[in-house]
Amino acid sequence: MSATMSSTLIGRVASELTRLPEEDLSLVIEFVECLKQRRAAPKRRLSPAEMRAEARQRAILLRDVPREEIVVRFRELAEEIHQEAIAKDTAIEGDWQGD
């Protein structure tokens, strides 16, 4: 990514952050920390117990977020994953069904 693109993206993120409610900022900070840990740590598979613990931690972070907003986020993420699978030619046509 070029320096100009990085600056533009950082400016856009900063602008969006100023519009967030204060209670969401801790979620953003937690997300950034999670990203930093993932990049620093070698990739390894989580055990089922570790997956459950991580899911519980994320659920705690999202407990004050309205269900409707979580549903929208989930659908957007699911669509991103689906589009990535299509791009990698690993999606099977017709395998994705919405609610």
| Chain segment 16-75, per-residue pLDDT in tens | 888 888 888 888 888 888 888 877 767 678 889 999 998 898 888 888 888 888 888 888
- Rounded Cα distance, 22 and 91, in Å: 39
Note the pLDDT of residue 23. 80
What's phi and psi for 48, nearest 5 deg? -55, -40
Choose among 87, 59, 60, 89: nearest CA to 74: 59
What pTM was estimated for this model as a whole?
0.40
Residue 98 has pLDDT above 80, yes or no: no
